[in-house]
Amino acid sequence: MSSALRSAVQQSRRTAFAQSARFASTSAKAPTLKERLADLIPAEIENVKATRAAHGKKSFGPVLVDQLYGGMRGLPALIWDGSVLDAEEGIRFRGKTIPECQEALPKAPGGSEPLPEGLFWLLVTGEVPTQEQVNALSKDWAARSAIPSFVEEILDRCPPTLHPMSQFSLAVTALNHDSAFAKAYAQGISKKDYWQPTYEDAMDLIAKLPNIAGRIFRNVYGGGKLPAIEADKDYSYNLAKLLGFADKPEFVELLRLYITIHSDHEGGNVSAHTGKLVGSALSDPFLAFGASLNGLAGPLHGLANQEVLIWLRKMQSKLGENPTDDDVREYVWSTLKAGQVVPGYGHAVLRKTDPRYMAQREFAQKHLPNDPMFKLVSQVYNVVPKVLLEAGKAKNPWPNVDAHSGVLLTHYGLDQMNFYTVLFGVSRAFGVAAQLIWDRALGAPIERPKSYSTAAINQMFKDKQ
């Protein structure tokens, strides 16, 4: 998309949301998220119609054969409203950078990191919620958090050797049993109202994930009976409690940051696109997000933070706790010469240090500056980009989000690496759920891109230079 077209579309969307925000501000009582969404949908439907009327026949540019063979990298093919990833700037959630979100979004009492509830509100509405609205969302999710007894039984019957992500996917898919959307669709609901049961399912999905994640964690790693959700606490606190970490306020703060920055990363990554794709068939949010989790479980998507931690531990074991920069540099070179990649460095889109990495680095500098593994991460940050540039191994030699998260979790005692992708999955539900709601509100059609065989491509260009 050209910069001019991108700016025009973003400005149009911001204007539509701003006009709705001014209208809502006249209300004496702050609207709920669903009420606010109902106000926004008509204006956004008209905004999409106007955008298509003005730009619908315009081209993004040529599609290269290499893009078809190369994982569709850079191929503009999706609408994703919650976030846009710029190669030089990083992610923006509804136009806001991560530092802007950290500044603007409501916090927990005594906390300094944004509450994920506020980020979800932002993803859905494009607006920064009030503290009152965020508190109401926390209470709503707590009230929806119980999982059916048969889902509890499914998880309890899973062998502890079954990967936590497989268990996570099973449980989320099984929640389809009580899907409001599936029930409404079977009863013949009007298309214009699809968004309402989708919203209810999306809210139930997010609300129930801590109980699912907590049960998996305790079944696999021990920890006794699962405690109850506290109705007056925020989402991250309750997740920390179910994992057994509520007595560590810094860990709770870390979860608030972690969920916020992992929630969404535009629509082209495997988990986000899978959720949108499956949802386009009018599969309910539980089925759609269950599919997302199966994509997230793949080693090229959700397992990178584990690979980083393993690599760092091997380095620390070989070099000791206080290696010199030259020692680190030599180790990095040995990794490359062995035909391996340096995990946590490079990104399919970004061409600068991932802002999500920087947010975690700043958290570490504030809360754990003397942690030996954090010191090693800092050394790697200073050494690796220069080595990768010298080696010509990466278009982007800078660290991504995975280069830091495992070290933070380990510092507070969450060292069960196979569980890390479950936390990623809890976070990613926010972005996928927000987009599923808007896809149904805007009447998004089923996805059906065109495919070609290698033989067809050769035939197509046989007589062309």
The residues pairing with 114 across neighbouring beta strands, listed in sequence order, are: 107
Alpha helices (H) along 61-107: 65-69, 98-104
Residue with tokens 């996928």: 432
What DSSP string runs through 18-59?
HHHHHHHTT-SSPPPHHHHHHHHHHHHHHHHHHHHHHHTT--
| Cβ proximity of 120 and 206 under 8 Å | yes
Distances (CA, A) of 182 to 173, 314, 342: 13, 48, 44
Nearest partner of 422 among 247, 162, 225, judged by Cα: 162
Nearest partner of 411 among 351, 455, 366, 348, judged by Cα: 366
347 catalytic residue (yes or no): yes
Out of 273, 347, 404, 411, the active site residue is 347
In whole angstroms, how large is the CA radius of gyration of the chain?
23
Locate 396 and state its tokens.
Answer: 């982007």
Locate 14 and state its tokens.
Answer: 């911001």
Please list the helix, strand and coil fractions of the chain in percent, rounded to the nearest 5, in that order. Answer: 65, 5, 35
Instruction: Enumerate the active-site residues.
Output: 347
